[in-house]
Amino acid sequence: MNPCFETATRLARAIRNGRLSSVEATEAHLQRIARLNGPLNALVVVDRDGALKAARAADRARARKKQLGPLHGVPITIKEAFDVTGLHTTSSHPPLKDNVAAEDASLVGRLRAAGAVILGKTNVPELCADFQTDSPLFGTTKNAWDDRRAAGGSTGGGAVAIAARLSPLELGSDIGGSVRNPAHYNGIFALKPSEWRVPGRGHVPCLPGQTRTVRWMGVFGPLARSVDDLETALRIIAGPDGNEAEAPPVALGAAPAARPEDLRIAFIDSNPLVKVSADTSSVVQQTVRLLSKAGAKVKRAEPKGLDWQQGWDDWADLFHYQVRALQPLAEREPTFGMISSPDPTERSAGRTARLDLAELFAVLDRRDQVMRQCESFLDDYDAWLMPVMPDAAFIRQKQTEPLVIDGTPHFYFFAGTAYNFLANLTGQPSIVLPCGFSKEGLPIGLQLTGKRWNDARLLGVAKTLEKLLPACPVPQSYRD
């Protein structure tokens, strides 16, 4: 077996059964990284010595018949924004270029305790704030399918590492699509868990030593090449760590098996904010036909009375309130006038620049209403299927340039978050599966969204859809 082409769960099984050693699996990935990572720039820190030391320890533990964790001996990667003891954590923010983590982030520690071997850290845009991965410290990560195109972001390096078979599993984060859009752009799987299901201590932002302001909508989850891997990772990282008051001890429960004929799936192939490309709409329709043919009850539907534009505005405002909460007035004042900008993102920056507490709580109130609408809607469905992004990966461009979808220009950040924002606003879990391709041969993923805290049930639905789809694709350039 070639360890680089196995999923994390299959690697764990092979290592546990003695068909493969952790050293063999780790060396194979390190050799592949050395051969292929240069042009891709997916990993920006490779801890060869640390990984091999951990792999040798994993093999010794197995030989002594010690109890083995669910990822025992499996090499994985970590988004650069998470603390890993002894390695730099910068989140691609130049003022943090010399910041070395003194301890693991909570989730990194949990993955280590489960037996994972950390190969290194993957590239991110500055402060995880883009859906391209162009770092001022580490340079640009290229898409695994076409090196002219965006890798996605902010977990862009991790998604490319998974797609190019440099790693079987990645730990990422998502406040507006940051595990989902790079999974879509690179033809892999990703999970954005329910809000607060997974703690975030040791993730930047927030900046080290500063007041924690990002308390809503930001979540942490895995990217992988199978739904089984997503479930395995979630069971390891879920649950409070005693550091954040928001994270409750809600049991994950079993992922119930779901027969296609028992499923009720709602879907949309576009929303009123940004019309998707013809290629994206085609993949939605193909997937709907696939589900229907398998016996699922599939219906075009959305929550009654859902105001997409107000929802997007509230998501953007809540994001801005959190990331700007510690900014001095001198930095916020120049954006006051943006409230009249034609660009929705700039208008949000203008609305939130005064840090008006009454307005913040009004946003939170409206957020509760949207959450109730979407939760009530899903009383009648097992999941809601929709696009991840308006199109397949675009040719890299400046943030100041419009994002063009089938010839129609749209404001960059508005278009790039038009489908991902909602699950962050509602706090509902969402899973991305690779479902098809554009006419240019680029992968197109779709996302399944479920009810809050019903992550396990959503995983069960995703496993059913995964069985109907072709295997996770391998980019042409990385098939050997």
Q: Which of 22, 79, 91, 135 does the annotation list as catalytic?
A: 79
**Order of strands, sheet of 117-122, starting from the edge strand that comes earlier in the sequence:** 43-46, 117-122, 75-79, 169-174, 219-224, 189-192, 430-437, 443-449, 383-387, 264-267, 297-300
Does residue 154 have an active-site annotation? yes
* CA-based torsion, 233, 238, 242, 244: positive or negative: positive
Q: Which of 21, 22, 154, 277 does the annotation list as catalytic?
A: 154
Does residue 22 have an active-site annotation? no
Query: What SS3 state is found at 403?
Result: strand
Query: What SS3 state is found at 184?
Result: helix
Strands 139-140 and 189-192: unpaired
Rounded CA-CA distance 170/186 in Å is 13
* CA-based torsion, 390, 391, 393, 399: positive or negative: negative
Q: Which of 78, 75, 76 is nearest to 25 (CA)?
A: 75
Which residue has tokens 């040719």?
Answer: 395
Phi, psi of 443, deg, nearest 5 = -70, 150
Rounded CA-CA distance 473/458 in Å is 22
Q: Which of 21, 167, 173, 178 does the annotation list as catalytic?
A: 178
Does residue 270 have an active-site annotation? no
Rounded CA-CA distance 450/427 in Å is 10
Kindly list the catalytic residues.
79, 154, 178
